Amino acid sequence: MARRTAEAHAARGRLGLESNPCRRSLVCAPDYPCHQPLRAPDDVARAERLLHGQAEIVWIKWAARYGVNQAQALAGTRFERYSVLIQAAQAGLGVALVPRFLVRDNLVNGTLVEPPDVAIDVEEQGHYLCYQPERLESSSALRQLREWMLAEAGREGESAR
Question: pLDDT tens digit string along 140-156?
Answer: 998 898 888 777 766 65
The C-alpha atoms of residue 74 and residue 86 are separated, in whole angstroms, by 17
The residues, any chain, with a CB within 8 Å of residue 83's CB and separated by 6 or more, are none
Average pLDDT along the chain: 78
pLDDT at 56 exceeding the cut of 80: yes
Helical ranges in 12-139 per DSSP H: 32-35, 41-46, 57-66, 70-73, 82-90, 100-109, 133-138
The C-alpha atoms of residue 61 and residue 23 are separated, in whole angstroms, by 12
Cβ atoms of residues 57 and 137 within 8 Å: no
Domains of the chain: 24-114 (3.40.190.10)
The highest-confidence range among 20-29, 38-47, 124-133, by mean pLDDT, is 38-47
The C-alpha atoms of residue 24 and residue 33 are separated, in whole angstroms, by 19
pLDDT tens, 2-40? 444 445 544 555 555 555 556 788 899 998 876 667 877
Strand partners, 23: 121
Q: What is the pTM of this model?
A: 0.66
The residues, any chain, with a CB within 8 Å of residue 41's CB and separated by 6 or more, are 66, 67, 68, 118
The residues, any chain, with a CB within 8 Å of residue 65's CB and separated by 6 or more, are 120
Length of the chain, in residues: 161
